[in-house]
Every structure is written in structure tokens, then in C-alpha cells.
Amino acid sequence: KVQQTVIADMREFRSELPSLIHRRGIDIEPITLEVGDYILTPDICVERKSVSDLIGSLNNGRLYTQCISMSRYYKRPILLIEFDPNKSFSLTARSSIHQEISVSDITSKVTLLTLHFPRLRILWCPSPHATAELFEELKQNRPQPDAATAMAVMADRKST
């Protein structure tokens, strides 16, 4: 039986997800990734966002750039949005009411992402535990990611 491996961006180790994945018997390979937060297979790249990250990165355009890079290098780019089921779920940022972010605006931007990036899958998870389980399922019967290949992937730089 092949040992399952997930490549995780070093910055993800501030969260509990890498240890939850490891507890499922999957090796974690920490690397500084330019594209994505997790590489599950040679084809599957995951960008993980909290709801507040999602709103921020939609508004500053960073998510669009991240989706360009993911779609360029991976056949199955995934935007994973992790929400807290104990909090009322809303696509408005409670802390930034003064910015007048409307739900319809955020929803429109997410819709535009799916139109611009037809291969992009948007997955919602209620907790890091659910995410770890989902990652295990997505990896089943698929080849393992290669660290050298993942490190060689460079993000698209906006020309200045």
C-alpha cells in the first residue's frame, strides 16, 4: 500500500489542519508553496479560505490571481471555504460593516470566479476536521503529489 502524502504550505501550520490530516495516517510534507495551500495529487491544488479571508481576497483581487495560477498549473483547482457551523453563516464581514460590503456583491464575485475558471471547484467545509476527511477522500486511488514539482510552480506576478 502506497503511503498517502499531502504537500502543505508552511504558513498552514499556524492552523490545526496539518496535524488533523497527519492523524488520519497521511504524511504531511511542509514546503513554501507559491500556488495553493495544499497539493493533494499531481492534479489537485487547494486554496483554503475562511469566510473573512474569502471576503478580503475577493475584494482586493488576490483570489482572482490565485485562481489564475491554480488553473494554469493544476487540472483540478479547488477553492475550499471553511466556515464555523457554530456562528451564524453569512457572507458579510461583521467587522467591516462600514465598508458597505453587500452579500450580493460577494455572491456575484464568487459566481464570476466559477464562470472565469470553469475547472475551479468550490467546496464548503464546516470545520478543519471535515476538511481533513474530505482531503482523504479526494486522494483515494490517486497518485501522490511530488514536492519538487510543487516547489517549481511559480505564482503569476502582476506586471508592474
Which of 157, 73, 67 minimizes the C-alpha distance to 117? 67
Query: Which pLDDT does position 31 carry in this prediction?
Result: 94
Contact present, 108 and 151 (Cβ < 8 Å): no
pLDDT (tens digit, 9 = 90+) per residue, 45-95? 999 999 889 989 998 999 999 999 999 999 999 999 998 877 765 555 555
Assign 25 to helix, strand or coil: coil
Q: Which residues contact 16 (CB under 8 A, 6 or more apart)?
A: 128
pLDDT (tens digit, 9 = 90+) per residue, 4-60? 999 999 999 999 999 999 999 999 999 999 999 999 999 999 999 998 899 899 989
pLDDT band at 142 (very low <50, low <70, confident <90, very high): very high
Query: Which pLDDT does position 1 carry in this prediction?
Result: 78
